[in-house]
Chain A
Amino acid sequence: MRFPPFVRSPYAGFLLFSGMLAVLPLLLTNDYYLNVLIFIGIHAIIAIGLDLLLGYTGQISLGHAAFFGLGAYITGVLSAKASWPPIAGLVVALVGVGILAYVIGIPTLKLHGHYLAMATLGFGIIVQIFFKELDFLTGGPSGLVGIEDMVIFGYEFDSDLKYYYLVCVSLALTLLLSINVVQSRVGRALRAIHGSEVASSVLGVNVSRYKVGIFVLSAVYAAFAGWLYSHYMTFVSPSSFDFMFSIKLVTMVVIGSLGSIWGAIFGAALLTSLPEFLYVFEKYETTVFGLILITVMIFMPKGLLRGVEDAVLAGVRVVRGKGDDK
């Protein structure tokens, strides 16, 4: 009985959220905010995927920036070097990253805890080194230029507003698919694996298959976000996909609420917009960021959303008096 009923039905929440996204630009006074919203949307797509992996299934990845980067670079290179249309690039990126995540995922997800963290971290660093070193393809450390604008079946997304709606549709699609997965037999199996791998397996759940499956899905989400990113920026460079960005993604998921898709979106919005609004404090950004991570994990290990919610519920109980508890 955590949420009021209408928020508890995820599909009602989904409709409400989509409606909100659609009218949000009307409320904005400054085009710059549109740009921030686009980044929030892109990050939210990755965070949702990572939450399915980390929050629902309990498997950490400290290398998700790599899948985001691969999506961005694959589409970027195909666009800049081979003039492929964005849609073709998208297909290659999703399939390519999906296959890579599958191949990497099989040995990686046999690992647990620190070992899993370290393997995904190592994978992320290796991929980023390739972005830097494969100059002839990627433009090396200074980045890849000349990525074409987004055109889908002849329609050009040539303004921030149009791009915003493209990102919104993409986010809504990701969200809907994820809600469906979470609500299903698959989602139950994933949460069961989080609860106890051995109990899941004696009930017939093929644990490694589900872990690899959700790893692939979350990697594909990240690649999808990479595609949106690369055609929006029309420029990509390795430093956007480094270890710190992987950490930032994990932080989004953790701060929002592990195991809550809405929490992931909230976390993405918070961490993406915070530096924009606190730009005067730029010098302190990393320090504050580290402090947030520690404090949230110590005092609200279930994330801000749950933490606040628990506090509110506790408050309500106090106001109503103890009699209502029974």
Chain B
Amino acid sequence: MNSPLLMNTRNLSRDFGGVRALRDLDLDVRQGLIQAVIGPNGAGKTTLFNVISGVIVPTGGSVFFRGEEITGLPTHKIAQKGLTRTFQNLQLFADMTVLENVMVGMHCMSKGGFFASAFKAPWVIAEERRVRDESMEWLRFVGMEDHSATVAGSLPFGSQRILEMARGLASNPELLMLDEPAAGLNSRETGDLARLIIRIKESGVSVLLVEHDMELVMSISDHVTVIDQGHKIAEGDPETVRSDEKVLKAYLGEE
């Protein structure tokens, strides 16, 4: 746990009317690791992702990315700084092809506005080719190069989850946040997913993982944070967390 701090939250809170989805949450995410956030249903995990990525604003507290405060910045600005995510309920561009989905992921990695596009400046053409080639590379990385021309909405569920990850990777993030990537996958697909997440880490991208599949979490995470009702109740390496009494209570209490 000595790698440098990449992203951290301080006293992060978010209320929805009477529901306190996050309460004074401090979370440290370090570079080069796979870190997991777990907790029972409704613990506030997705809300945490929403607040960090700027999709919703917190009611209190702050978010820092590489030491710089990013609380309340517009989502696209946060993304441009190198922080992106996937969604628990898939948010693919369903009418676009697989390749086009990844090419959108490269939005920040390329330039060309309305004017240059409309008049097709020569460099726009070269840029377009580069974006296409690099996007194909990302599809190869996740093993979906054979489906590049398929319409994303018609992919099987598991491939849609993978495509969301490829799309996120294409935006060249330093931190990739995955919201329940294994939900709805069978055990073979979950195994592939585990290997993919490890390869993502090895390629230098830090991963923050929210997941209910404990086997997956415990087998690949370097560090686990447990939250319940918006509170952090435990953290540490998988072994420590697994045997924590509060954690057991939170999960059993729910059942």
Contacts and interface: CB of A to CB of B under 8 A. Distances in A.
B98 to A, nearest CB: 13
Given A203-B104, A204-B79, A184 B84 contact: no
B107 interface: yes
A185 B108 contact: no
A188 B102 CA distance: 10
Interface string A169-209: 00000000110110011111101101110111111111100
A177 B119 CA distance: 6
B55 A198 contact: yes
B171 A195 contact: no
Nearest to B87: A199
A185 B55 contact: no
B95 interface: yes
Interface residues of A, number: 28
A89 interface: no
A213 interface: yes
B93 A202 contact: no
Contact of B107 (A180, A181, A185, A198): A185
A217 interface: yes
Contacts of A200: 93, 104, 107
Nearest to B172: A204
B219 interface: no
Given A187-B117, A198-B75, A203 B107 contact: yes
> Considering residues B79, B80, B167, which has the most beta carbons from chain A within 10 angstroms of its beta carbon?
B79
Contacts of B104: 188-189, 192, 200, 203, 205
A204 B164 CA distance: 14
Contacts of B114: 181, 186, 213, 217
B39 interface: no
B76 A204 contact: yes
Query: Which of A185, A195, A200, A201 has most B Cβ within 10 Å?
Result: A185
Interface string B92-104: 1111100010011
A203 B168 contact: yes
B120 A180 contact: yes
Given A181-B118, A217-B114, A188 B103 contact: yes
B154 interface: no
A205 B110 CA distance: 11
Nearest to B111: A185
Contact of B95 (A178, A186, A191): A191
B79 A184 contact: no
Query: Per DSSP, are chain A's interface residues mostly helix, strand or loop, or mixed?
Result: helix
A227 B100 CA distance: 37
Contacts of B168: 202-203
Chain B interface residue bracket vs A = 35 or more
Contact of B79 (A180, A192, A201): A201
Interface in B117-132: 117-120, 124, 127-128, 131
A205 B76 contact: yes
B93 A199 contact: yes
A184 B75 contact: no
Contact of A194 (B75, B95, B131): B95
A201 B55 CA distance: 8
Contacts of A180: 117-120
A194 B54 CA distance: 20
Nearest to A187: B117
A203 B79 contact: yes
B117 A195 contact: no
A203 B112 contact: no
Contact of A204 (B95, B131, B171): B171
Nearest to A200: B104
Contacts of B107: 185, 188-189, 192, 200, 203-205
Nearest to A217: B114
A185 B93 contact: no
A294 B85 CA distance: 40
Contacts of A189: 104, 107
B243 interface: no
B147 to A, nearest CB: 14
B124 A184 contact: yes
Nearest to A206: B76
Interface of B: 53-55, 74-76, 78-80, 84-85, 87, 91-96, 100, 103-105, 107-108, 110-114, 117-120, 124, 127-128, 131, 164, 167-168, 171
7 contacts: A180-B119, A184-B117, A189-B104, A191-B100, A195-B95, A200-B107, A202-B75
Q: Which 6 A-B pairs have the closest CB atoms?
A: A195-B93, A184-B117, A204-B108, A199-B91, A201-B75, A204-B79
Given A184-B112, A191-B100, 15 more contacts: A180-B118, A180-B119, A184-B120, A185-B112, A185-B128, A186-B113, A187-B117, A188-B107, A194-B95, A198-B55, A199-B91, A201-B55, A201-B74, A203-B79, A203-B171
